[in-house]
Amino acid sequence: MLAFLALRFQPDPPDLITIEEPERGLHPYLLGELVSFLRSLTEGPKPTQIVVATHSAEFLEHMKPDEVRFLSRSPDDGNVLVKEVDPADPDWVRVYREFDDSLGSAWLSGGLGGVPSSN
């Protein structure tokens, strides 16, 4: 967590920060704190874009649906497919409600992409 906190004090904040699996080594309680902190870096006089790669359903629980993109590979040609959530889509709202407004559970169901196939 200390490494993440140091991001706030960079003399010249970067335009983009990429983080892979930030949940590794953190107590689950701190995930919400980390997400809030990273969100705060995207605001201010010089906002920074944050890109996080995760396989953690727990981490997703702290995200807003419109902040998330699900990546998977096309079985046809191997291209990367990017799926955005449309929070205004009635089908999305229905599915989200089915999973008790749990983005992590909806993702683990496999219906949102980003979950390896069982083939």
Determine, yes or no, domain membership for 76: yes
In 3D, which of 65, 63, 100 has the Cα closest to residue 84? 65
Q: What's the predicted TM-score (pTM) here? A: 0.81
CA distance 56 to 104: 8
Determine, yes or no, domain membership for 51: yes
* pLDDT score for 119: 46
Determine, yes or no, domain membership for 103: yes
Determine, yes or no, domain membership for 93: yes
Determine, yes or no, domain membership for 82: yes
Q: Which residues contact 13 (CB under 8 A, 6 or more apart)?
A: 7, 41, 46, 48
Domain range enclosing 36: 2-7+15-108
Q: Which residues contact 56 (CB under 8 A, 6 or more apart)?
A: 21, 23, 31, 104
Which three-class secondary structure state does DSSP give residue 25?
coil
Q: What is the total count of domains within the chain?
A: 1
* pLDDT score for 46: 86
Determine, yes or no, domain membership for 80: yes
* pLDDT score for 117: 58
Q: Is residue 42 within 8 Å of 36, Cβ to Cβ?
A: no
- pLDDT tens by residue, the chain, 119 residues: 888 889 888 888 899 999 999 999 899 899 999 999 999 999 978 899 999 999 899 999 999 988 998 888 888 999 998 888 888 888 888 888 888 888 888 888 876 766 665 44
* pLDDT score for 34: 95
Determine, yes or no, domain membership for 114: no
Determine, yes or no, domain membership for 35: yes
* pLDDT score for 114: 62
The token pair that represents 107 in the structure block: 């993702």
